[in-house]
Amino acid sequence: MARTNIPADYKPPVDHDEFITGFTDRPEDRIDMGILFVGAGPASLAGAIRLAQLLNEEPELMSSLGEIPIGIIEKGKYPGAHLLSGAVVNPIAFRKLFPELKDNEFPFFGPVEKETVYFLTSRGAIPFPITPPTMQNHGNYVASISKMGAWLAEKAEALGVLILNETAGMKLIVEDGIVKGVRTGDKGLDRDGNPMGNFQPGSDISAKVTVLGEGTQGHLMQALIEHFGIKRPNPQVHALGVKEIWEVPKPLDRVIHTMGWPLRGGKKYNEFGGSFIYPMGKDKVSLGLVVGLDYTDATLSVHDLLQELKTHPLLKGILDGGRRADQGWGAKTIPEGGFYSLPERFHVPGALMIGDCAGFVNVPALKGIHYAMWSGILAAETIFDVLKSNRDPQAQGALAGYGIAIKESFIWSDLYKVRNMRQAFQYGFMPGTMLAGLMTITNGAFPGWRFRVHRDSEHPMFKGNRTYPKPDNKYIFDKLTSVYASGNRTRDNQPSHLRVRTDVPEIIAETWVNMCPAQVYELVEKDGHKHLEINPTNCIHCGAITSKGGRLTPPEGGGGPEYTET
């Protein structure tokens, strides 16, 4: 095949059915759970809490689910370790789950009291006269999703939910077309996959219902969609967000969003995104840059663009006299496809998809957390109804009520109103802004048809000429220093969890080198030629490589970042 500049042409050989298995362990060696949630993010935790609340009112039904009625497996060291978001949160799901608590008792920093949107040039900041309707945050709260995860996990455990940390879901257990649980990953393998002295084999976890809440780029979700042949109107597309937390001497009195610089507006570049700056109490701020992964310039680095953004007078005025927090950095992908990238169904026999795993993100509103939590709540209520009516949740169509509940909820109506808005920006910033305005005015009725999109990896790449400020590791940071600030504790002699081809043209290799915020990929000169080398230990599991031509799989449980404030 002729060598091209399209990342999708260099996908590694991945058979998604390699992540599908039958039961491996003998029945007496399995871990039996009633309902299993995969991933301890907001969606799974909200679902587990709601299900526990309902089952605690039906003790006989609870006891019918065995010794572990509700369990969650989490690949991070603790709940919240792998969670990263802005975040400004709509509190509706918290109010639903905890009606006895007041808003100031939730794990929030405070309400949004003021907000400003700026269009940036390289030196100027032009405030919007009014905040676009989709971006208005009156009644919402600034929060750390990592702290939210820890808080929700405590609430779940208090209700009897078992959380198994440091446990990666490696394979879906499927028999006779029914999802029957999850096979967890092995621990204690060396770099070549050989057992070491501390080797622990994975386990089969059986469950009546398996709820996939793995978050963005979910490993088991991808295997499930491929195995069951679930379609989408449009492919899912993603953005990469890189975030820092700063300790500052002056409190920030408002939520700030920006558009424009340092991104370029031309269709050639396909650079969609913007930045956020949020107050985290009186002495901290979070700031981040989010960029769609459908960009075309191989020299674009979101990590380094964030460093460049900090040279802007607006940012300097906020950060002056401050310092980046010791564990004040992280990165994560965000599903951006919206309504037309949702799966055609959210259930298969024995399993459901919730949260970012399903794609419930409203990009124009910059919101996903309350959709994720609400989807978990709806999943819990569907499961409870099925169990209470004495139906088999693994029967064909038994869990279809979940999809109906989603379509009758604000999740569906909110995403439908902005169904073409993200896609409009594939035509460039100014045309996209005009189209998005018409869509807002018509409540989504314009244009009356579906805008199609390509996968992020299908866009041809070109070598641009982006340059970035030189790091001093005090204000402008290099990638390795940032990885250290993520708390990354990945064991360096385990098998690589990254499926990436190294026999690729230089333009593809350079795309991956610059794209990765954690310096996992390097171009090294050998024998007069440049070779792509991979350093999987640096990986913070952001998922960008899956969007741009490779495949992230779960590493050994307990590794990766240890976020606490992101």
pLDDT, tens only, 468-484 = 999 999 999 999 999 99
Mean pLDDT, rounded, of the chain = 96
DSSP string, 385-441: HHHHTT--TTSTTTTHHHHHHHHTSHHHHHHHHTTTHHHHGGG-HHHHHHHHHHHHH
pLDDT in tens, 320-356: 999 999 999 999 999 999 999 999 999 999 999 999 9
Which tokens in the block code for residue 351? 């399993």
Predicted local distance difference test score (pLDDT) of residue 492: 87
Predicted local distance difference test score (pLDDT) of residue 527: 81
Cβ within 8 Å of residue 460, ≥6 positions away: 4, 5, 6, 296
How far is 26 from 253, CA to CA, in rounded Å? Answer: 59
Q: Taking 90 as the threshold, does the pLDDT of residue 546 lie above it?
A: yes
Query: By CB neighbour count within 10 A (0-12 exposed, 13-18 middle, 19+ buried), where does 176 fall?
Result: exposed
* CA-to-CA separations, 210 to 129, 420, 494, 523, 559, in angstroms, rounded: 48, 32, 28, 41, 23
Q: What average pLDDT score do residues 362-373 get?
A: 97
If you ran DSSP here, which 8-state letter would residue 297 be given? B
3-state secondary structure of 60: helix
Predicted local distance difference test score (pLDDT) of residue 417: 97
pLDDT in tens, 89-126: 999 999 999 999 999 999 999 999 999 999 999 999 99
Evaluate if pTM is beyond 0.95: yes
Q: What average pLDDT score do residues 313-320 get?
A: 98
Q: What average pLDDT score do residues 179-206 get?
A: 96
Q: Taking 60 as the threshold, does the pLDDT of residue 1 lie above it?
A: no
Decide if 152 contacts 80 (C-beta within 8 A). Answer: no
Predicted local distance difference test score (pLDDT) of residue 379: 98
Q: What average pLDDT score do residues 381-390 get?
A: 98
How far is 220 from 205, CA to CA, in rounded Å? Answer: 14
Q: What average pLDDT score do residues 452-460 get?
A: 97
- Please provide residue 388's backbone torsions phi and psi, each rounded to the nearest 5 degrees: -65, -30
> Which residue type, as a one-letter code, is found at position 250?
K
Q: What average pLDDT score do residues 418-424 get?
A: 94
Q: Which residues pair with 370 in a beta bridge?
A: none
How far is 31 from 181, CA to CA, in rounded Å? Answer: 10
pLDDT in tens, 508-545: 999 999 999 999 999 998 888 889 999 999 999 999 99
pLDDT in tens, 44-99: 999 999 999 999 999 999 999 999 999 999 999 999 999 999 999 999 999 999 99
Question: First vs last Cα of the chain: how many Å apart?
Answer: 43
How far is 134 from 116, CA to CA, in rounded Å? Answer: 13
pLDDT in tens, 205-252: 999 999 999 999 999 999 999 999 999 999 999 999 999 999 999 999
Predicted local distance difference test score (pLDDT) of residue 489: 85
User: Radius of gyration of the chain from Cα atoms?
Assistant: 23
Which is it for strands 115-120 and 125-127: parallel, antiparallel or unpaired? antiparallel
